[in-house]
Amino acid sequence: QVQLVESGGGLVQPGESLRLSCAASGRIENIAFMRWSRQAPGKEREWVAQITSAGSQDYAERVKGRFTISRDIATNTVYLDMNNLQPEDTAVYYCGAQQRGINSWGQGTQVTVSS
């Protein structure tokens, strides 16, 4: 099973940018897709973006045009570039992978957008 470690979270002001990273290790073969989800305080976890093994990307409507998911195959790392961050983007961001129908998640990284 794959292990996932997120990094890159922090405190930013509205309109600023952040790059989140997700490093995959362990048994990384047969990963169908990797994704980012987030969970704001008092709310359910919501899907943000995903990238398939073929490199196809998809985004939630509320982040489309502001967030970009990408990957570095050589280092087994997936990124989430977040631009024009807004207070409603404040959440714990989780990296996930689906491997043979099994979902794995990292422990999350906190993103706080506040003036």
What DSSP letter does each residue of 68-102 carry, written as one string?
EEEEEGGGTEEEEEE-S--GGG-EEEEEEEEETTE
Q: What is the mean pLDDT of residues 72-80?
A: 94
Q: Is the pLDDT of residue 28 over 90?
A: no
The single residue listed with the structure tokens 């099973």 is: 1
Q: Is the pLDDT of residue 27 over 90?
A: no
Query: Where does the pLDDT of residue 86 fall: very low under 50, low under 70, confident under 90, or very high at 90 and above?
Result: very high
Please, what is the average pLDDT of the chain?
96
Core vs surface per residue 36-54: b (16+ CB within 10 A) or e: bbbeeeeeeeeebbbbeee
Q: Whole-angstrom Cα distance, residue 18 to residue 25?
A: 23
**How do beta strands 91-99 and 109-113 pair?**
antiparallel
Tally Cβ neighbours within 10 Å of residue 22: 26
Non-local CB neighbours of 73 within 8 Å, separated by 6+ positions: none
Count CB-CB contacts under 10 A for residue 65: 10
- Banded model confidence at residue 29, pLDDT cuts 50, 70, 90: confident
Using pLDDT thresholds of 50, 70 and 90, give the confidence band for residue 1: confident
